[in-house]
Amino acid sequence: MNDEQRQLLSHTRFHRPDRIAEAAAARSVRSAWGTEKLLIIAADHPARGVVEVGSDRLAMGDRYDMIDRLLAAVSVPGVDGVLGSPDVIEDLLLLGALDHRLAFGSMNRGGIAGATFEYDDRFTGYSAAAISRQRLDGGKMLLRINPEDPATADTLSACAGAVTDLAAAGKVAMIEPFLSRRVEGRPQSDLSPEAIIRSMSIASALGATSAYTWLKIPVVDDMEPIAEATTLPLVLLGGARDDRPDEMFSRWQRALGLPGVRGLVVGRNLLYPADGDVVEAVKTAASLL
């Protein structure tokens, strides 16, 4: 970011916060997805208290640096849009970085990483009404299902309500489901194909309609039965940063060739690649589509 952009964000947020709504109303939106497979850059991790990348405990804690990386990423041809919490989306709106791009709002961020209430993932971010008001394309929700934690029931109910409300507004509900349990006090997702399929089956049936539901799923070794487990659109998540990018990109490429897989929704692996070259990492991901 240059000095003018930094000053714009700081000045506007203090003196003219009303311009955020103006920028949302003025944004040039897409009338269709535009491509058969999508590349969405995810930037909602800090809202849940996750700011570390690899061994750097505060990598995502520098907001100006993160926005700089997002600006570099969305400038790459083939990038379709961004998924973020309200603060991130609004910074990008003020900078005009979301014109003609897709924008998805992150909804439930209340399951703070490491908290005793992590499975009670409250909707502390976007609501369906706010997504409609800001003319975003959809909302994303994390759904970790722990059969041993009663807080899961509240999260399931809240996600179901959000799916119904988003569908009523014609907006995508992007659900990221996992079967999960605490291991030594910390949530750990089961990434076996059987567990992923079970979580997908639960997520697919949430809400009064699945017409606008997409599933955001991890990439594992045996993806074929997972792709066959639903007729809903599938997008692939990137997960924690992988320091073996060649292997990671190969796994993504194989998964993208499966029926029903409609693209990538990736954050840290593209914004904070091991070699530091954001543009080159994003170009590689875009080439896979």
pLDDT of residue 13: 97
Q: What is the pLDDT of residues 48-106, one digit of tens each?
A: 999 999 899 999 999 999 999 999 999 999 999 999 999 999 999 999 999 999 999 99
Q: If DSSP codes are grouped into helix, strand and coil, which group holds residue 239?
A: coil
Portion of the chain with pLDDT greater than 70, in percent = 100
Mean of pLDDT values over 251-277: 97
Q: What is the DSSP string of 69-115?
A: HHHHHHTSTT--EEEE-HHHHHHHHHTTTTTTSEEEEE----S-TT-
Answer whether residue 240 shows pLDDT above 90.
no
Q: Where are the alpha helices (DSSP H) in the chain?
A: 3-15, 18-26, 63-74, 86-94, 128-133, 151-168, 193-204, 224-227, 245-256, 268-271, 278-287
Q: What is the pLDDT of residues 195-214, one digit of tens each?
A: 999 999 999 999 999 999 99
Cβ(89)–Cβ(81) under 8 Å? no
Sort residue 183 into left (φ over 0), alpha (ψ -120 to 50) or beta: beta
- Among 118-122, 152-156, 242-246, the range scoring the smallest mean pLDDT is 242-246
Answer whether residue 32 shows pLDDT above 90.
no
Query: pTM for the full model?
Result: 0.96
Query: What Cα–Cα distance (Å) separates residue 76 from each residue in 27, 54, 120, 126, 253?
Result: 19, 24, 37, 27, 19
Mean of pLDDT values over 216-230: 97
Query: What Cα–Cα distance (Å) separates residue 108 from each residue in 121, 129, 286?
Result: 6, 14, 28
Answer whether residue 16 shows pLDDT above 90.
yes
Q: If DSSP codes are grouped into helix, strand and coil, which group holds residue 66?
A: helix
Pairing verdict, β 186-189 and 172-183: antiparallel
Cβ(139)–Cβ(106) under 8 Å? yes
Answer whether residue 31 shows pLDDT above 90.
no
Q: What is the pLDDT of residues 147-169, one digit of tens each?
A: 999 999 999 999 999 999 999 99
Cβ(121)–Cβ(103) under 8 Å? no
Q: How does residue 188 score in pLDDT terms, banded at 50, 70 and 90? A: very high
CATH superfamily assigned to domain 3-287: Aldolase class I (3.20.20.70)
Residue partners of 4: CB distance under 8 A and separation at least 6 = none
Answer whether residue 256 shows pLDDT above 90.
yes
